Chains A and B, each alone.
Chain A
């Protein structure tokens, strides 16, 4: 692709993602409402869709407050990190047969690397705020993300073995006949759980557990800086859903409809599932979260790796 194409495509993609992320705010509130026998936002614009606009206006006009006790530069940089790392990762996502920004042959590794970088945002925000709740939230986030990172990577190795490549496009093409979710069901489950933990979505939102830590690492944030954490979270959900589609649900493959639509539908379904999880499950204790990760998920992912490897060897 030419530079010009990139110059159009990149802002285009960012714009689309922004719209999706802010749309998710409305979607999440609406779905939560529905599942709680309410309506959710339904007053601003048709179906309340313009609630997003109102929220954006609000968050932009709020006072952008930096606490006097905070470490100012770090405090300001921290929310940017999460947005940037997640957005960069979208570069390697294959939205369709010919859609997608970069076609890295280490695409999957790039995804893992970038999502690990996201932890800096949370850890730095917690530390720079210089407040006990923020610090605790930051510490939890770091430990949680590092722990779940481990088997997130491991759970994907089965997929890599099946496709024989780290290139995401190749992985998708390898699923032309059978989606990975079938042979790699265990990997799929593990990756999904790890993904939720990675984006610290409910029920794994311990870094920002309201009942204990006020708002965790972003307690001291307000205005658009707070908005960026929020945005980062929705980008993260979208990213994990897109990755799950890519890695396990055959990416853009599907009958009748154009491939990009199939990709979008699958991603959206995962997003909705995430919201359903939020509406259903309570938050575990922190020690439960850690022991679940290390004592259940980690061994399981190793087993998955062994079995997959064994089967592939046997199949040769």
Chain B
């Protein structure tokens, strides 16, 4: 009985406590850098597209809201011809970012994406591609990969020996 009254009293005292609610949008809450918000496609330090259209984000996506088509430039560098994310389906789980082998796809701290038309939530490649490196500066997949692309011949990647001369007789 007393406990009951005490509870009532304690609850009543909360009238004078500080509110925990943050009055969005007048005040913005703190968003950690690893917040899973709007998805972007980043660029490597040399300004090239990081995405190599490997489709791993698409297959990791539990709601299947990423669709892309790969293509190649003349030098054999692969990149996405189209890259579409349907944010009206996206659940911001971040699996795509986790699956991405090149740090191309990243979730950002932007969460203000409300739209009155669902079609406006479909982001094409030009809406997704930013000009910076995003959260992971410095990484360039093509500098590590063994594939030959424009500006990087065989054996010029990191940790590679120059190409073997097959016709050489030395052991």
Contacts and interface: CB of A to CB of B under 8 A. Distances in A.
Direct contact of A and B (CB under 8 A): yes
Interface of A: 34-39, 276-277, 279-281
A34 B21 contact: no
Contacts of A38: 19-21
Contacts of B11: 35, 276, 279-280
Contacts of A281: 4, 7
Interface in B1-46: 4, 7-8, 11-12, 14-15, 17-21, 23
B14 A35 contact: yes
Nearest to B13: A35
A35 B21 contact: no
22 contacts: A34-B14, A34-B15, A35-B11, A35-B12, A35-B14, A36-B14, A37-B17, A37-B18, A37-B19, A37-B20, A37-B21, A38-B19, A38-B20, A38-B21, A39-B23, A276-B8, A276-B12, A277-B8, A279-B11, A280-B4, A280-B7, A281-B7
A185 to B, nearest CB: 14
A51 to B, nearest CB: 15
A39 B21 CA distance: 7
B67 to A, nearest CB: 35
Contacts of B4: 280-281
User: Among B12, B17, B20, B23, which residue has the most Cβ atoms of chain A within 10 A?
Assistant: B12
A190 to B, nearest CB: 14
Contacts of A35: 11-12, 14-15
A280 B9 CA distance: 9
User: Among A35, A39, A281, which residue has the most Cβ atoms of chain B within 10 A?
Assistant: A35
B121 to A, nearest CB: 24
Nearest to B14: A35
A37 B8 CA distance: 15
A300 to B, nearest CB: 13
Contacts of B8: 276-277, 280
B7 to A, nearest CB: 5
A39 B19 contact: yes
